[in-house]
Amino acid sequence: MRYARLFGKTVREAPHEVRSPSQALLIQAGYIRPLGQGLFSELHLATRVLSRIKRVIRHEMDGLGGQEVKVPLVNPYDIWRRGGRAAFVRRGMVRFSDRDGHDLVLSPSHEEAMVQLVKDSLHSYRDLPVFLYQFQTKYRDEERARSGLIRAKEFVMKDGYSFHRSTYELNNFFPKMFAAYERIFRRCGISCVSAESGVGFMGGEKAFEFLMPSSSGDDVVIICDNCGYRANREIAKGIKETTDEPLRETELVETPGCTTMGKLATTLGVSPARLAKALVYRTQGGFVMAVVRGDYGISEEKLSKILRKPILGLAGASDLESLDLIPGFLSPIGREDLTVVVDDLIARSHNLVYGANTMNRHLVNGNFGRDFFSETIADIAQVNRSDRCLQCHSPLRAERAIEVGNIFKLGDFYTRRLNLQVQDERGKRLYPHMGSYGIGLGRLLSCIVEAHADDRGIRWPEILAPYRVYLMGIGKSPAVKRFVESLYCEFEDEILLDDRLESPGVKFKDADLLGIPLRVVVSPQLLEKREVELQERSTGKTWHVPADRLSALLKARIEERVDV
């Protein structure tokens, strides 16, 4: 490709609103352009990188017996209703009617459609296991679509779905997928940690995420450096410590304006660990009050699991008013009429400060069991930095990360709901056990960029680079031009030839920004000595090679570094 002809050149500045470093680089280097909030166009360089990423993924999926297929992005709403995820329509799924009145959705994921496809074609238990995968667009009306490809509303995912005769078979397949994911990320040159995660709106039994540690990530992973325990903060468990002390008498205190944990702690001169925090959530089954200690956050994922209902969001001001609750002064005490879920640490912590359900007042020395009660005591708190590892008692630490893939053990969650059954050897009906496996391509692309970038630009891993060689001649000498053109003709599909009338300085800068692994510079001075200059983008190493050996060298390099 001639760079002068390439559509979408480098730009000096990334747009102001860009938050993530990979997004800034991808825009500056001419790989992507925003079209709207959470909507991105891919330019040609990105299309090339993505097709190489797909090749790596296909290779691994095919290695597990995967068959590439494709289900539509637009799905009948009915399969979502029957699948039991309809509640999520209100949280990020676009729903519409066609001219014939069919109720349709833009699918945020494809479990239902794949179950339907398998249902239409599965005749016998002998057809199991089945492992199907696709590269298909998803649409999620994300709340936080501000991190470029990392959280786009429209994005392409490799999503795979496996169907097995039993949990046992699924359990055998699952680690193979786990290993394939590790290989994919390794081959793409990023180092991911795997962590247990919440099943979220996917349903099912167990899930793992693959996360790349990054300060720009939206996820937080809790890590024990001693024993290797890793889990997403939303489901991570730790040992929550508290001290025993005699129960004291409750006391009503004036706390004007103390509507946050911070203000309250300062006003009363106590640590947040002495406070109780109560929040009210909207769920499908009505309002629920959740109570954790003041130094902890609430995990909606854990809460949802305890309630066996999706959480629809925090109650608003009018919701609270209808419940006769005062924002900032909420308390479970005296409100036996409410559904209350209490974190296990609350049940064990004595003499905490609770809201008084009265404006500008709190109740000191509240105690679970004595002053209020709930049947539902469970771990609903996000792990705190003071927590210790449940496995080995070592300290836990939290790290920000970008989730690039996830794998779910769904069991018979969907197959039962959508009534996908087959007969086994003995004529017994069984619901296949299912796994689902996703990798967001845009996220993966962003992670690769972020993992390898330096202050001058992108540095593509050899096997994923849009072109393998960045070629430029210096000056107008016919000899240089002849040499450059003849090399270009030979490796047209792997060379990006910078044929612009720009200064060498500008070209060097762009070469670095674009991230092509090998830069070849043909200058009249060197060419007179029958030499050319090479520079490796990843290391910055520069060296000279004889001009007449260059072609053989490039050939060897290109052939040697083919990954698949």
Question: Counting contacts by CB under 8 A, is residue 100 touching its own copies?
Answer: yes
Q: Pick the stretch among 37-45, 207-215, 236-244, 385-393 that binds its own copies (CB under 8 A).
A: 37-45
Query: What is the dihedral sign for C-alpha 152, 445, 201, 375?
Result: negative
Question: Counting contacts by CB under 8 A, is residue 196 touching its own copies?
Answer: no
210: Cβ contacts below 8 Å, ≥ 6 apart: 181, 182, 185, 192, 193, 194, 403, 404, 405, 406
Sheet strand arrangement including 311-314: 311-314, 276-283, 286-293, 340-343, 376-378
CB of 517 to its own copies, least distance (A): 21
CB of 75 to its own copies, least distance (A): 7
Q: What is the rounded distance in angstroms from the CA atom of residue 115 to the CA atom of residue 129?
A: 13
Residue among 14, 24, 73, 320 that touches its own copies (CB under 8 A): 73
For 121, the 3-state DSSP assignment is helix
Quote the crossing angle between the two packed helices 441-452 and 44-63, to the nearest 10°.
110
Q: What is the rounded distance in angstroms from the CA atom of residue 478 to the CA atom of residue 394?
A: 68
Q: Pick the stretch among 3-11, 207-215, 286-294, 377-385 that binds its own copies (CB under 8 A).
A: 3-11
Quote the crossing angle between the two packed helices 167-187 and 44-63, to the nearest 10°.
140
How many residues interact with its own copies (rule CB under 8 A)? 59
DSSP 476: S
Let me know if 553 is exposed, middle or buried by CB neighbors in 10 A (0-12, 13-18, 19+).
middle
Question: Counting contacts by CB under 8 A, is residue 436 touching its own copies?
Answer: no
Question: Counting contacts by CB under 8 A, is residue 450 touching its own copies?
Answer: no
Closest CB to its own copies among residues 151, 240: 151
Question: Counting contacts by CB under 8 A, is residue 390 touching its own copies?
Answer: no
Question: Counting contacts by CB under 8 A, is residue 44 touching its own copies?
Answer: yes
Question: Counting contacts by CB under 8 A, is residue 47 touching its own copies?
Answer: yes
Q: What is the rounded distance in angstroms from the CA atom of residue 424 to the CA atom of residue 537?
A: 57
Question: Counting contacts by CB under 8 A, is residue 205 touching its own copies?
Answer: no
Question: Counting contacts by CB under 8 A, is residue 551 touching its own copies?
Answer: no
Residue numbers 116-175 binding its own copies by CB under 8 A: 116-118, 120-123, 126-127, 130, 132, 137, 139, 141, 143, 153-154
User: Is the bond into 129 cis (omega within 30 degrees of 0)?
Assistant: yes
Question: Counting contacts by CB under 8 A, is residue 37 touching its own copies?
Answer: yes
Residue among 16, 36, 243, 249 that touches its own copies (CB under 8 A): 36
CB of 274 to its own copies, least distance (A): 38
Closest CB to its own copies among residues 8, 84: 8
Closest CB to its own copies among residues 42, 111: 42
Reference 466, options 437, 439, 495; nearest CA is: 495
Residue 532 and residue 477 in contact, taking contact as beta carbons nearer than 8 Å: no
Residue 409 and residue 373 in contact, taking contact as beta carbons nearer than 8 Å: no
Residue 518 and residue 465 in contact, taking contact as beta carbons nearer than 8 Å: no
Q: Pick the stretch among 65-73, 241-249, 316-324, 452-460 that binds its own copies (CB under 8 A).
A: 65-73
Residue among 7, 476, 478, 543 that touches its own copies (CB under 8 A): 7
Question: Counting contacts by CB under 8 A, is residue 467 touching its own copies?
Answer: no
Question: Counting contacts by CB under 8 A, is residue 108 touching its own copies?
Answer: no
Residue numbers 297-356 binding its own copies by CB under 8 A: none
Task: State the residues that interact with its own copies by CB under 8 A.
Answer: 4-9, 30, 33, 35-44, 46-48, 65, 67-76, 92, 94, 96, 98-100, 102, 104, 106, 113, 116-118, 120-123, 126-127, 130, 132, 137, 139, 141, 143, 153-154
